[in-house]
Amino acid sequence: MSSTSDLDLLVGSWLTVPDVAEMLGIDAGRVRRLLQERRLVAVRRGSPPVLSVPADCLVPGHLSNPAAPDAPSAERPWAVLAALQGTLTVLGDDGFSDEETIEWLFTPEETLGVAPIVALRAGRKTEVRRVAQALL
């Protein structure tokens, strides 16, 4: 398992639960529900430890599904990356902890040519999930 500092090097930019809530226009309780539903992933980091979500898990609202982008909308400036939920489910079923999940998502994967999070943000969820399922 990676240390928090190793994850910081991989992830780069983090958002706290209140930050995510503000960006999505929802309350912090709803963000916690998104975490429980495995639509988002977070780890405790910093001192004192604060629950933090990798910033790349959020995308401009019109790009929540990068395979079928919408027109930009002021009502939905940010959204959770839609392809993330299924990938988090596959990794969870493989027994990955939240730390291990984030490490895998942000580490360049040879078969994808990029980190899985980059591939997901580019609309390549099927490829990413195929690689994740092969981890069993």
Task: Say what the pLDDT of residue 43 is.
Answer: 96
Rounded Cα distance between 111 and 108, Å, is 9
User: Amino acid identity, residue 14?
Assistant: W
Confidence of residue 65 (pLDDT cuts 50, 70, 90): confident
The residues spanned by each domain of the chain are 4-133
Name the phi and psi angles at 15, rounded to 5: -125, 140
**Rounded mean pLDDT of 89-106?**
96
Percent with pLDDT over 70 in the chain: 96
Confidence of residue 1 (pLDDT cuts 50, 70, 90): very low
**Rounded mean pLDDT of 101-124?**
96
Instruction: Give 30-63 as a DSSP string.
Output: HHHHHHHTTSS--EEETTTTEEEEEGGGEEEGGG
- What is the chain's mean pLDDT, rounded? 91
